[in-house]
Structure 1
Amino acid sequence: MKMNRIKVNAENRSSLSSDRQWGTSLVLAWMVIFLTSCAGTPLIKDENGKKRPQSIASLEQIELLGKKQWILLRGVNVDAPILLWLAGGPCGSEIGWTRKYLAPLENDVIFVNWDQPGAGKSYKAADFKQIRVQNYVDATIALSEYLAMRFKKEKIFLAGHSWGSIIGVMAAHQRPDLYYAYIGIGQQVNSVENDQIGYNMVLKQARQRGDHALVKKLEKNGLPPYTQAQKGAYIDFFRHLPSCPPGICSKNSFWEMVKPKEYTLLDSLHTLKGLINGINMVYPQLVDLDFERDVPQLDIPAFFVTGRYDYTCVQDIAYRYYAKLHAPLKRFYWLEKSGHNPCYQEPERFIQLLRDDILKLAE
Structure 2
Amino acid sequence: MKHTLLLILFLCLITGGQAAQTKPIHEASFVSIGGIEQWVTISGEDRDKPVILFLHGGPGSTMSQYDDAIYGYWKKDFVLVYWDQRGAGRTFGRNAPETITEDYWIENPLTVERMTADGIELSEYLIKHLGKRKITLVGTSWGSVLGASMALKRPELFAAYIAHSQIVDGQEGFRHAFNKVSKLAQTANDEESLNKLAALGPPPYGDARKSGQLMRIIKKYERENSIPAPASWWKVASEYDNEKDTNDRYNGDDYSFLYFAGHKGMGIKSMEEAVNFSKDGLRYKIPVYFIQGEEDILTAPDLTKAYFDKLKAPKKEFVLVPGAAHGHNQAVIDAQYKAVKKALNLR
Give TM-score scaled by structure 2 length. 0.81
User: Counterpart in 1 of 2:26?
Assistant: 57
Per-residue CA distance 1:147-202 (angstroms, 9 max, x = gap):
00111111111110010000110011111111011110111101111111111222
User: Counterpart in 2 of 1:297?
Assistant: 283
Query: How far apart in 1 are the matches of 2:248 and 2:234?
Result: 13
- Alpha-carbon spacing, 1:166–1:236, altered in 2? closer, same or farther (3 Å): same
User: Counterpart in 1 of 2:160?
Assistant: 181
Query: How far apart in 1 are the matches of 2:114 and 2:251?
Result: 20
User: Counterpart in 1 of 2:199?
Assistant: 220
1:232 aligns with 2:232: no
Query: How far apart in 1 are the matches of 2:113 and 2:158?
Result: 18
CA contact (8 A) 2:89 2:249 kept: yes
Deviation at 1:360, TM superposition (A): 2.2
Query: How far apart in 2 are the matches of 1:304 and 1:209?
Result: 31
User: What runs of 5+ residues in structure 1 fail to find an aligned partner?
Assistant: 1-50
Equivalent in 91, 109, 113 of residue 60 of structure 2 = 91
Q: Secondary structure at the match of 1:102?
A: helix
- Alpha-carbon spacing, 1:252–1:340, altered in 2? closer, same or farther (3 Å): farther
1:108 aligns with 2:77: yes
Deviation at 1:207, TM superposition (A): 4.0
Equivalent in 274, 279, 304 of residue 257 of structure 2 = 279
Larger displacement relative to structure 2 (87-96 or 111-120):
87-96
User: Counterpart in 2 of 1:31?
Assistant: none
- Alpha-carbon spacing, 1:336–1:208, altered in 2? closer, same or farther (3 Å): closer
Deviation at 1:79, TM superposition (A): 1.2
CA contact (8 A) 1:83 1:157 kept: yes
User: Counterpart in 1 of 2:122?
Assistant: 143
User: Counterpart in 2 of 1:74?
Assistant: 43
User: Counterpart in 2 of 1:169?
Assistant: 148
**Over alpha carbons, which structure has the higher Rg?**
1
Deviation at 1:53, TM superposition (A): 6.0
Query: How far apart in 2 are the matches of 1:186 and 1:92?
Result: 14
Q: Secondary structure at the match of 2:40?
A: strand
CA contact (8 A) 1:249 1:345 kept: no
* 1:90 aligned partner, one-letter code: P
CA contact (8 A) 1:71 1:113 kept: yes
User: Counterpart in 2 of 1:351?
Assistant: 337
Equivalent in 136, 155, 160 of residue 134 of structure 2 = 155
Per-residue CA distance 1:125-155 (angstroms, 9 max, x = gap):
4663222121110100000000001111111
- Alpha-carbon spacing, 1:326–1:98, altered in 2? closer, same or farther (3 Å): farther
CA contact (8 A) 1:93 1:258 kept: no
Query: How far apart in 2 are the matches of 1:344 and 1:271?
Result: 24
CA contact (8 A) 1:136 1:167 kept: yes
Query: How far apart in 2 are the matches of 1:52 and 1:217?
Result: 60
Query: How far apart in 2 are the matches of 1:100 and 1:251?
Result: 11
Deviation at 1:281, TM superposition (A): 1.8
User: Counterpart in 2 of 1:319?
Assistant: 305
Aligned-residue identity in percent: 27
Q: Secondary structure at the match of 2:271?
A: helix
Give TM-score scaled by structure 1 length. 0.78
Count of aligned pairs: 309
* 2:322 aligned partner, one-letter code: E
Query: How far apart in 1 are the matches of 2:248 and 2:77?
Result: 31
Deviation at 1:209, TM superposition (A): 4.3
CA contact (8 A) 1:304 1:332 kept: yes
- Alpha-carbon spacing, 1:346–1:90, altered in 2? closer, same or farther (3 Å): closer
- Alpha-carbon spacing, 1:344–1:354, altered in 2? closer, same or farther (3 Å): same
The Cα RMSD (Å) is: 2.6
Q: Secondary structure at the match of 2:229?
A: coil
- Alpha-carbon spacing, 1:352–1:181, altered in 2? closer, same or farther (3 Å): closer
